[in-house]
Amino acid sequence: MTSVVGKGLATAPESADGLAPGSQSGINLERLDADWTLPDRAYEAMKRAIMAMRIYDGQEDLRLDERRLAHDLGISRTPVREALLRLQHEGLVRTVPRRGVFVVRKSKSEIVEVILASAALEGVAGRLAASRATDAQIASVRTQFKEVIRHPSRLDLDRYSSLNLQFHQYIVDLAESEMLSGLVETLKIHMRAIRGRTMGDGNRMKRSPVEHQRIVEALEARDADALEQEIRQHGMNLAEHVERFVDYLD
């Protein structure tokens, strides 16, 4: 089991509360100002930090230490506790009695369900984007995301994975739907983690740009049916890949 906070800190100087300044662990938090609405800000900061974590890169559980979180945020433990309860309600963390709070790692079957749900939602977002996006927004896709459409070889894996996630988010944003954006947001943490984790597997780096190209062509044609279908198929291809080749999930 790996504690996400507290490892690798033995040689750092300690502050008055007995904790070393700054986090040297897997979760990187932005320090909060004391005059902010602390529970909400703590929740947002912790959620952003969890989203940036590589939660499927290892086999060990990722533990969050309440005391360390409060120290890194520069606030008391009460708003941290409230934020953790909210994250737990959303299914992003879980509390294990006498062991602590852990970032949720989904099983393979659960990940496949997340991918399929996300594909359905992103497909609907694409359908809306086909009619709601401006000509300028559509035209900008090829310039903003040319590497994920045509030239993946120019990028290292981490950069490609980052742009890939931005590409998917951009399509959702074009739908201009707060409801869809909110639903996609609840799946984003695990989608981000698994998309990034599997991008280097097999031939996904070659297949992904081809599928992105089809999505862009359907968007440029404002063909809502084709766009929804291409986005859904893109997601189903990822789900099939996870089912067949991913052996590092329980």
Measure the CA–CA gap between 135 and 233, rounded to whole angstroms.
25
The model's pLDDT over 187-220, given as tens digits with 9 standing for 90+, comes to 887 787 777 677 666 677 778 889 999 999 999 9
CB 38 within 8 A of CB 75: yes
Rounded CA Rg of the chain = 20
- Indicate the residue type of 198: T
Mean pLDDT of the chain: 83
pLDDT at 16 over 70: no
* pLDDT reading at 11 higher than 60: no
pLDDT (average), residues 146-156: 77
What CATH number matches the domain at 2-103, 3.40.190.10, 2.60.120.620, 1.10.260.40, 1.10.10.10? 1.10.10.10
74-81 long-range contacts, CB within 8 A, separation 24+ = 74/31, 74/32, 74/33, 74/34, 75/32, 75/34, 75/38, 75/42, 76/38, 79/38, 79/39, 79/41, 79/42, 80/42, 80/46
Nearest to 246 by CA among 34, 4, 59, 17: 59
Q: How far apart are CA 126 and CA 74, in angstroms?
A: 41
Residue 22 to residues 12, 46, 55: CA-CA distances in angstroms? Answer: 9, 15, 21
Amino acid at 114: V
Partners of 163 in the β-ladder = none
| C-alpha count within 13 angstroms, C-beta hemisphere, residue 63 | 16
Mean pLDDT to the nearest integer, 15-41: 61
With bands split at pLDDT 50, 70 and 90, how would you rate the model's confidence at 179?
very high
- CATH superfamily entry for domain 108-245: GntR ligand-binding domain-like (1.20.120.530)
Task: Give just the sign of the alpha carbon dihedral 59, 108, 98, 48.
Answer: positive
**What does the block give as tokens for 147?**
């590497």
87-125 confidence digits (pLDDT tens): 999 888 999 998 999 998 888 899 899 999 999 999 999
Residue 26's pLDDT is what? 60
The answer to whether residue 17 scores a pLDDT higher than 60 is no
d(CA 250, CA 71): 33
> Crossing angle of helices 135-144/204-220, nearest 10°?
160
End-to-end CA distance of the chain: 15
Distance of alpha carbon 222 from alpha carbon 27, whole angstroms: 41
Answer yes or no: are the C-beta atoms of 238 and 196 closer than 8 Å.
no
Highest mean pLDDT among 12-26, 67-81, 196-210: 67-81
Q: Structural domain boundaries of the chain?
A: 2-103, 108-245
12 has pLDDT over 50: no
